[in-house]
């Protein structure tokens, strides 16, 4: 087998198995250890693999985080259903804390309870809620992330210490065995702090967020009381939810 053919087969092996060792290459392709190492060097130079101790793995594809407005357009039907179900958990006179996630924005748009107080670090949520006569808005100040429309920083964290609400509503960029993850460190820190300032913490997340991981982990399953989503997650996630006593609500 020529080297180019073998390199192609190595990539196919990695796609199926996730990783390959030098010993596996020697056995699979009947080649010497030196040849296996040369193949790995060649693939690394082509940016097709990441070399590890004794073998190689495929590089992870970097996910491009869309702007807030772009994310708002994705799968609006599922997010609307989740928000409608979340609405049923809110009682007139409740005090609420909203993060900056797009699914929580759908909840803000549909909020129809009387005499409701809402705290938020999202300028978009605040603008939407400002049109509702029965909602009192507390906009948590801080540094503005212009691309995603949220406020963050030590000033905001300090301000949160003065509040304790009935219900906290947050989103998630990724939900896995590691918990709830987010692409921005400052946003992850704010969400973690939010979970400490409410009687009940409710995560709104569509099915695409499960089995996905982002860079920053902040919120754990132990921080959350309820998850509302639009599809039942895999059994391994279900087991973690049960262990942590997290209630799962799946909308039709």
Domain ranges of the chain: 3-57, 68-250
What's residue 67's pLDDT? 46
Q: Confirm or reject CATH 3.30.2020.30 for domain 3-57, answering yes or no.
A: no
Helix, strand, or coil (residue 204): strand
Q: How many residues can be counted in the chain?
A: 252
- Cβ proximity of 210 and 248 under 8 Å: no
- Span 237-249, average pLDDT: 95
* Predicted model pTM: 0.73
Condensed to tens digits (0 to 9), the pLDDT of residues 46-89 reads 888 988 888 999 886 554 444 445 544 555 678 999 999 999 99
What's residue 70's pLDDT? 53
Condensed to tens digits (0 to 9), the pLDDT of residues 101-151 reads 999 999 999 898 888 999 999 999 999 999 999 899 999 999 999 888 899
Name 24's Cβ contacts closer than 8 Å, sequence gap at least 6. 13, 55
Give the C-alpha separation, 98 to 105, whole Å: 8
What's residue 54's pLDDT? 85
What's residue 59's pLDDT? 82
CATH topology of domain 68-250: Rossmann fold (3.40.50)
Q: How far is CA 18 from the centre of its chain?
A: 23
């Amino acid at each position: 087998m020529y080297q180019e053919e073998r390199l192609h087969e190595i990539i196919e092996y990695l796609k199926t198995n996730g990783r390959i060792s030098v010993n596996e290459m020697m056995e699979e392709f009947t080649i010497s250890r030196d040849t296996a190492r040369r193949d790995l060097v060649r693939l690394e130079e082509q940016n097709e693999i990441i070399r590890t101790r004794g073998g190689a793995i495929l590089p992870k594809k970097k996910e491009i985080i869309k702007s807030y407005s772009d994310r708002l357009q994705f799968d609006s039907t599922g997010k609307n259903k989740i928000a409608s179900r979340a609405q049923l958990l809110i009682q007139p006179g409740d005090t609420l804390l909203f993060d900056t996630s797009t699914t929580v924005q759908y909840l803000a748009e549909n909020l129809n309870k009387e005499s409701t107080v809402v705290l938020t670090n999202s300028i978009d949520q605040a603008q939407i809620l400002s049109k509702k006569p029965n909602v009192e808005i507390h906009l948590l100040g801080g540094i503005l992330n212009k691309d995603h429309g949220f406020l963050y920083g030590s000033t905001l964290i300090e301000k949160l210490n003065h509040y304790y609400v009935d219900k906290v509503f947050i989103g998630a960029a990724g939900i896995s065995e590691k918990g709830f993850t987010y692409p921005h460190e400052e946003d992850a820190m704010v969400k973690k702090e939010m979970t400490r300032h409410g009687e009940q913490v409710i995560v709104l997340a569509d099915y695409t967020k499960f089995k996905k991981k982002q860079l920053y982990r902040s919120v754990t399953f132990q921080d959350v009381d309820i998850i509302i989503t639009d599809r039942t997650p895999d059994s391994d996630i279900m087991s973690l939810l049960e262990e942590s006593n997290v209630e799962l609500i799946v909308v039709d």
